[in-house]
Amino acid sequence: MATAARSGVPAATSRGVVMPRAIPGLVVAINWSALGQVAVVTVVVAVIIAALMSLSNWCLTPAEGATVTTPRKAVGYALMGVMALIVLGGLYLMIPYFH
Protein backbone atom coordinates (compact mmCIF):
# COMPACT_ATOMS: atom_id res chain seq x y z
CA MET A 1 0.00 0.00 0.00
CA ALA A 2 1.30 3.45 -0.92
CA THR A 3 1.83 6.11 1.73
CA ALA A 4 1.60 9.86 1.41
CA ALA A 5 4.95 11.60 1.16
CA ARG A 6 6.55 12.46 4.53
CA SER A 7 3.38 11.84 6.55
CA GLY A 8 3.30 8.07 6.84
CA VAL A 9 -0.47 8.20 6.25
CA PRO A 10 -1.80 5.62 3.79
CA ALA A 11 -2.68 7.21 0.47
CA ALA A 12 -5.57 6.49 -1.86
CA THR A 13 -4.83 5.79 -5.50
CA SER A 14 -6.86 7.05 -8.42
CA ARG A 15 -5.83 5.85 -11.87
CA GLY A 16 -2.27 5.24 -10.72
CA VAL A 17 -1.89 8.68 -9.11
CA VAL A 18 -1.10 8.68 -5.40
CA MET A 19 -3.56 11.00 -3.63
CA PRO A 20 -2.74 11.90 -0.01
CA ARG A 21 -5.52 11.54 2.54
CA ALA A 22 -6.52 14.30 4.90
CA ILE A 23 -4.48 14.38 8.09
CA PRO A 24 -6.64 15.01 11.16
CA GLY A 25 -5.66 18.13 13.09
CA LEU A 26 -3.58 19.57 10.23
CA VAL A 27 -4.40 23.21 9.63
CA VAL A 28 -3.01 24.96 6.58
CA ALA A 29 -2.58 28.69 7.03
CA ILE A 30 -1.52 31.14 4.34
CA ASN A 31 0.42 34.18 5.45
CA TRP A 32 -1.27 36.68 3.13
CA SER A 33 0.90 39.55 4.29
CA ALA A 34 4.08 37.72 3.30
CA LEU A 35 2.53 36.68 -0.02
CA GLY A 36 1.62 40.31 -0.70
CA GLN A 37 5.16 41.42 0.13
CA VAL A 38 6.59 38.87 -2.29
CA ALA A 39 4.21 40.04 -5.03
CA VAL A 40 5.10 43.71 -4.51
CA VAL A 41 8.85 43.04 -4.43
CA THR A 42 8.55 40.92 -7.57
CA VAL A 43 6.82 43.70 -9.49
CA VAL A 44 9.23 46.38 -8.24
CA VAL A 45 12.34 44.36 -9.11
CA ALA A 46 10.91 43.46 -12.53
CA VAL A 47 10.40 47.17 -13.27
CA ILE A 48 13.93 47.97 -12.04
CA ILE A 49 15.47 45.25 -14.22
CA ALA A 50 13.49 46.43 -17.26
CA ALA A 51 14.60 50.03 -16.64
CA LEU A 52 18.25 49.00 -16.25
CA MET A 53 18.10 46.97 -19.45
CA SER A 54 16.50 49.87 -21.30
CA LEU A 55 19.08 52.36 -20.03
CA SER A 56 22.01 50.08 -20.85
CA ASN A 57 20.60 49.50 -24.33
CA TRP A 58 20.26 53.28 -24.79
CA CYS A 59 23.85 53.80 -23.63
CA LEU A 60 25.27 51.14 -25.95
CA THR A 61 23.26 51.94 -29.08
CA PRO A 62 24.43 54.94 -31.10
CA ALA A 63 22.04 57.38 -32.71
CA GLU A 64 21.97 57.61 -36.50
CA GLY A 65 25.36 58.74 -37.77
CA ALA A 66 26.86 58.99 -34.28
CA THR A 67 29.41 56.91 -32.41
CA VAL A 68 29.19 55.68 -28.86
CA THR A 69 31.75 57.37 -26.61
CA THR A 70 33.86 55.41 -24.16
CA PRO A 71 32.25 56.84 -20.97
CA ARG A 72 28.81 56.06 -22.34
CA LYS A 73 29.90 52.49 -23.11
CA ALA A 74 31.28 52.14 -19.58
CA VAL A 75 27.97 53.29 -18.10
CA GLY A 76 26.06 50.87 -20.33
CA TYR A 77 28.18 47.91 -19.29
CA ALA A 78 28.04 48.98 -15.63
CA LEU A 79 24.23 49.01 -15.80
CA MET A 80 24.29 45.52 -17.31
CA GLY A 81 26.56 44.40 -14.47
CA VAL A 82 24.19 45.82 -11.84
CA MET A 83 21.30 44.07 -13.55
CA ALA A 84 23.21 40.78 -13.57
CA LEU A 85 24.01 41.13 -9.85
CA ILE A 86 20.32 41.70 -9.06
CA VAL A 87 19.33 38.59 -11.02
CA LEU A 88 22.07 36.47 -9.44
CA GLY A 89 21.08 37.72 -5.98
CA GLY A 90 17.50 36.68 -6.65
CA LEU A 91 18.64 33.24 -7.76
CA TYR A 92 20.74 32.93 -4.62
CA LEU A 93 17.68 33.67 -2.49
CA MET A 94 15.47 31.19 -4.39
CA ILE A 95 17.80 28.19 -4.54
CA PRO A 96 18.15 26.59 -1.09
CA TYR A 97 21.25 24.61 -2.13
CA PHE A 98 23.33 27.79 -1.89
CA HIS A 99 22.37 28.53 1.73
Contact 34/18 with Cβ under 8 angstroms?
Answer: no
Task: Provide mean pLDDT across the span 20-44.
Answer: 89
* Percentage, residues of the chain above pLDDT 90: 56
The predicted structure's pLDDT at residue 25: 82
For residues 84 and 53, the answer to whether their CB atoms sit within 8 Å is no
- 92 Cβ partners below 8 Å, 6+ apart? 98
How, if at all, do strands 12-14 and 17-19 pair?
antiparallel
Confidence (pLDDT) at 65: 81
Cα 18 to Cα 24: distance, rounded to the nearest angstrom:
19
Q: For residue 86, is pLDDT > 70?
A: yes
Say yes or no to pLDDT of 1 above 70.
no
* Average pLDDT in the chain: 85
More confident residue, 53 or 67: 53
Q: Are 36 and 29 in contact (CB under 8 A)?
A: no
